[in-house]
Amino acid sequence: MLRKSDRSVDHNSMNKLIGNNLRFIRRLKKMSLMQLADKMNIKYQQVGKYELGQNQLCAFRLWQASHILGCKIKYFFDKNYINKMYGYHSA
């Protein structure tokens, strides 16, 4: 993985997108940060860093989170996912 100082703007924006979607899906499933961290067998601070886009998730962690949260991996990469779900759940 690249050092934080070597990451491009696109790289950082993708980490933030994945993190925002992770947080949204976690909250949609009514799961706390600590519950998700326990199920992933990591510290809650690490999940927080993933959600803020400060650290990037490896392929295994993406797969693990998708199985725990019961969603498809592609939802973490969808730029419009949160807006679509707000529209779906508010209708």
CB of 25 closer than 8 Å to CB of 36: no
CA distance 82 to 25: 9
DSSP conformation letters of 52-87: HTSSPPPHHHHHHHHHHHT--GGGGG-TTHHHHHHH
Q: How many helices (H) and strands (E) does the chain have?
A: 5, 0
User: What average pLDDT values come out for the chain (91 residues) when binned by 10 residues?
Assistant: 66 90 93 97 97 94 96 90 68 48
pLDDT of residue 85: 74
**What predicted TM-score, i.e. pTM, was given to this entire model?**
0.84
